[in-house]
Amino acid sequence: MNRPAVRDFALLLLRIVLGVVFVARGYQHWFGTGMRAFGSELSKAGVPQPQVSAYLAGTVELIAGTFIIIGLLTTIAASILVLLTLAAGYFVHLDNGFFADTSGVEYPLVLAASLFMIVVFGTGRASLDGVLTRD
């Protein structure tokens, strides 16, 4: 079943869920735990330049997550988030094993694979990208 309306709805649903996850995570880093605490966590995990990385990650999560929700520059935003998520998986989660309950790589892998689906298949027609590129 490869109906365009079903495909567009599936991509819209995927974009909304992923976008909300990243906006919520970025919001938490900025306004919940705060950037100092987030930077401290990154430092303990061995992330290079932890304070700079914290600000960069929190900002990218907020902005790229918003772009994914509204469907603007979506494949670019998803590509950037794939790289950010894989970096987090490597630096923060890899030493913790596989499963999410031990902060392992399971969750970052699911996020990265989901984002990659958007990179490969695009945004669908229910997006600003879709509206702006229609003939």
Four-point Cα dihedral 80, 113, 103, 101, nearest 10: 150
State pLDDT tens for residues 88-102. 999 999 999 999 999
Q: Would you give the DSSP letter of residue 115?
A: H
Name the burial class of residue 22, with classes exposed (0-12), middle (13-18) and buried (19+) by CB atoms within 10 angstroms of its CB. buried
- 71: helix, strand or coil: coil
Q: pTM of this prediction?
A: 0.92
How does residue 131 score in pLDDT terms, banded at 50, 70 and 90?
A: confident
